[in-house]
Amino acid sequence: MAATTYSVFDRYNSYATSAPYIASAFSDNASQADLLQIENQGGIVIVAVDYLGTVHFSATGLTATGGVGGTGLYTLNRQVIGKFRVGTIPSATITTVAQAFAAAFPQQSSQQQDIIQVIAPGGTIGYYINYAGVASGS
């Protein structure tokens, strides 16, 4: 699936001329905080997009870490873009990344817009997360 014309939050500019583009777009992220997190109604983080742009998911909750997140982990109390809640969707019904993103970003899901995009020099999209939580690029 190709990137959409618009993104929900912003189109972050990268100064890298080749991949990875995320590092220069978020160059102030020296602490390697997650880019974004999604929490369920109980306040448990179920999705974390780490500083490298990798999407991590657990329907029962990821494990907090004070340092760099990773598979099954999220970075405690640190997000670059923000933390989002699944809204009124019961936590028990969220069993996939796509369901978590649809619940956290219902309007964008219905319009099938990207959540974030990182723009490389020249205007090409070097990295994006689509409405279903699928990350492409680096």
In a domain, 33, yes or no: yes
104-134 per-position pLDDT tens digit: 988 776 678 889 999 999 888 999 999 899 9
In a domain, 48, yes or no: yes
Strand-pair partners of 45: 39
Domain count, the chain: 1
In a domain, 1, yes or no: no
In a domain, 102, yes or no: yes
In a domain, 6, yes or no: no
Domain that holds residue 118: 11-137
| Ordered DSSP codes for 2-42 | PPPS-BSS-EEE---SSS--HHHHTTT-TT--EEEEEE-TT
In a domain, 5, yes or no: no
In a domain, 61, yes or no: yes
In a domain, 34, yes or no: yes
One-letter amino acid of 119: I
Largest CA-CA distance found in the chain, in angstroms, rounded: 44
Indicate yes or no: pTM above 0.85: yes
pLDDT on residue 40:
92
Residues of the chain with pLDDT under 70: 1-2, 4-9, 109-110
Any idea what the Cα angle at residue 114 is, between residues 109 and 115, rounded to 5°? 85
